[in-house]
Amino acid sequence: MNPVSIEFMLTQPGDEQVYIYEITGRLVYSRELKNNSTGLKTVKWDGKENNGLITESGVYIVKVSAKNASSTKKFIRQN
């Protein structure tokens, strides 16, 4: 199982939240990143849900939120 790298650009310093959802809308993973500086950031997701279970192959949605901005993208995860 290869980790998924999630890259995003932070234009203002502060806190960010990363959410990963199944295509059905069910939240499977969330992470809060505190006090980051500006620039390109990378979060690696190991494919596990918050409860430790390994997710299935499929289409997922990642949402990154920071202050007054957010970004959402789809990706395919293959086990």
| 2-57 tens-digit pLDDT | 789 999 888 888 899 999 999 999 999 999 989 888 889 899 999 999 999 999 99
d(CA 63, CA 71): 6
What is the average pLDDT across 55-61? 95
If pLDDT is split at 50, 70 and 90, which confidence band does 68 have?
confident
- Which residues, 6+ apart, have CB-to-CB distance to 25 below 8 Å? none
Side-by-side strand order, sheet with 27-36: 27-36, 14-22, 58-66, 69-77
d(CA 53, CA 74): 21
Residue 63 has pLDDT above 70, yes or no: yes
CATH code (residue 10):
2.60.40.4070
Q: Domain of 31?
A: 4-77
Split into its structural domains, the chain has a count of 1
